[in-house]
Amino acid sequence: MSRAAIRNIILLAFISLAGIVATQIFWVKKAIDLKEQQFNHRAYVALKSVSDRLIQDSKYRVQLDGINKKASNYYTLDFSSPVNVTMLENYLLIESKNQNLNADFEYGIFECTTDSFYYGRYVNIKKTGEVERVHIKARPNENYYIGVLFPKKKTYLQDDLKLLTFFSCVLFVVIGFFTYTILVILKQKKLSEIKTDFVNNMTHEFKTPISTIALSSDVLMRDDIIKNPERLKHYATIISEENLRLKRQVESVLQVSQIDSHKIVLNNTEVDIHELIENLSKNMEPRLSELDGKIKLHLNARKHIVIGDEVHLTNILYNLVDNAIKYCDKIPEIIITTQYKHKGIEIAVKDNGKGIEKSSHNMIFEKFFRVPNGDIHDVKGFGLGLFYVKNMIKLHKGKIAVHSIPKEGTTFTIWLHTKEK
C-alpha cells in the first residue's frame, strides 16, 4: 500500500472520529437541554397545582396572581391573603412527587415592597419531617410572594443523566485508545522507514570505501605498479584515506550505540577551545580548498578554557563543520565565532548552505534523521552526527541551539561552562 493511500485512510479515520465525537457532544447537549425543559415543565406544573390547591382550599382562601420564573431554578407566586405554611409545604411535597420531581427545594415567604423575609425552610425531598405550624397573616395594603428555589437543580440533572454520561465517557476512552493506537502505528512506521533508510544508506556508505580499497588493492598487485613508486604511493594513499573514512563511519555507529547504552565515560581535562578550533580549521582547509571554500575565525572569548573530553569536543565541532560543507550547494563559507557569555563560552558555527526548514528544527537532533531534499536524501551520512553532538553537549552540561533560514544558511550555537580560575 502506498504512503499516499495510508495517509488518506488515516485522514478519513480521523475525520470519522471527529464526526463521532461531534455527534456525541451534540446529542449529549440535546439530552441535557431536554432534561432541563422537562424539569422546568414539571416544576411549573407542580407549582401551578399547588397554586390551584391553595385557591380551592375551603379554609384558606388565597388570591394568587400567577407563577413567575425569575431564574432557571427560582420561581415566585404572588398572593395577598394569609397562607398556612403547613398546607403550603405539604402541597409542595405532594405535587413534587406527583410530577416525579425528586429534587430538594427551599421555599420562603416575603413581603413584596421591602422584600422582608417572614418564613422559609429547606426541604430534603427524601427526608421530610414534621412541619412547624406557622400562619402568615397579611397586613392591610401589603402584598406577599412565595419563593421556591431548587438549589441542586444542576446536580439533579447530572444524576438523571448518569447513564448517558457513563457511556459517553466509555466512547471517549475508546476513541482515545484508538487515536493512541494510530499514533503509535504511525510512529513505528516512521521509525521503520528511518531504520530502513539508515540500513540502505549505511550499506552504500560502507560499500563505496570497500570497493575503492578492493580496486586499489587489485591495482597494487600489478607488476607495472610495483615498479612505479609514485603510482604505488598514490594507490596506497587512497587505501589509507578510504580506510580512515571507513573507520570514522564505524566509530560514529559505535558512539551512538554507547550513547544509547549510557556507556560513554568522559575523559575530562582542561581544553583550550580556541586552540581546538584553530587545529580543526587547519585540518579542514585542504577539503575546503578543493571546493574553493573558506573558513573564517572570530575568536573573541576572553575565557576559553573548558573542562571536558578533548576527543568528543573535537568531534562535536567537526560534525558541525562537516555538515556545513555537505549541506552547501555553492562555494562554502563558514564562520566560527566565540564570545564569553553567562560564565561560559558561546561558539557559533555559521554557514551559507541550503538551510533547514522550520518544521525540521525539532527533528534534526533525532537519531537517523537527515534533512530531506524532496523525497531524496542526496547527502552522504547516517543521520547520526547531530544526535551525537546534542548528547555529547548534554554530557558536558552545555546547550545547543539552531537558527536557520532556507536557502540562506544555518547557525549552530553551543554554550559550554568555562574554567573560571
Q: Are residues 72 and 153 in the same domain?
A: yes
- What mean pLDDT value characterizes the chain? 80
Helix and strand element counts for the chain (H, E): 9, 14
283 occurs within a structural domain: yes
| Total tally of structural domains belonging to the chain | 3
Mean pLDDT, to the nearest integer, of 15-26?
78
Structural domain contains residue 278: yes
CATH number of the domain that 84 lies in? 3.30.980
Name the nearest CA neighbour of 253 among 317, 324, 199, 187: 199
CA–CA distance, 250 with 160 (Å, rounded to integer): 68
Share of the chain above pLDDT 70, in %: 85
Q: How far apart are the first and last CA of the chain?
A: 63
Say whether both 126 and 142 belong to one domain.
yes
Last residue of a domain, one of 119, 142, 160: 160
Write down the pTM of the prediction.
Answer: 0.53
Q: Is residue 177 part of a domain?
A: no
Burial of 40: CB neighbours in 10 Å, binned 0-12, 13-18, 19+: middle
> Rounded distance, CA 88 to CA 82, Å?
11
Number of residues assigned to the chain:
421
Let me know whether 156 and 82 are in one domain. yes
Considering the domain architecture, whether residues 118 and 59 belong to the same structural domain is answered as yes
Least confident of 128-137, 178-187, 215-224, 246-255: 128-137
pLDDT band, very low/low/confident/very high, at 334 (cuts 50, 70, 90)? very high
Is position 168 within any domain? no
Same domain, 233 and 335: no
| CATH code, domain with 330 | 3.30.565.10
- Please say whether the beta carbons of 83 and 60 come within 8 A: yes
Assess whether 222 and 137 both reside in one domain.
no
Last residue of a domain, one of 201, 230, 260: 260
Same-domain status, 236 and 273? no
C-alpha pair distances (Å), 379 with each of 174, 213, 278, 324, 383: 43, 22, 26, 12, 10
The pLDDT confidence band at residue 376, using thresholds 50, 70 and 90, is very low
Residue 377's pLDDT band, with cuts at 50, 70 and 90, is very low
**Is there a domain that residue 274 lies in?**
yes
* 174 within a domain of the structure (yes/no): no
Query: Is the same domain home to 254 and 197?
Result: yes
Q: Are residues 128 and 245 in the same domain?
A: no
Tell me, yes or no, whether 127 and 96 share the same domain: yes
Q: In terms of domains, do 12 and 153 share one?
A: yes
Which CATH number covers residue 230?
1.10.287.130
Identify the domain containing residue 211 by its residue range. Answer: 191-260
Residues 245-282 have pLDDT tens digits of: 787 777 767 777 777 777 788 889 999 999 999 999 99
- Looking at the structure, tell me whether residues 82 and 105 fall in a common domain: yes
Q: Of the candidates 223, 243, 260, which is a domain's last residue? A: 260
Chain segment 225-238, per-residue pLDDT in tens: 777 888 888 888 88
Sequence-ordered alpha helix ranges (H) in 153-228: 153-160, 162-220, 223-226
Give the residue from 38, 76, 29, 47 showing the smallest Cα distance to 153.
38
Residues 106 and 151: beta-carbon distance below 8 Å: yes
Answer whether residue 57 is part of any domain.
Answer: yes
Question: What tens digit of pLDDT does each residue of 193-230 get?
Answer: 767 766 766 676 677 678 888 888 888 888 777 778 88
Structural domain includes residue 37: yes
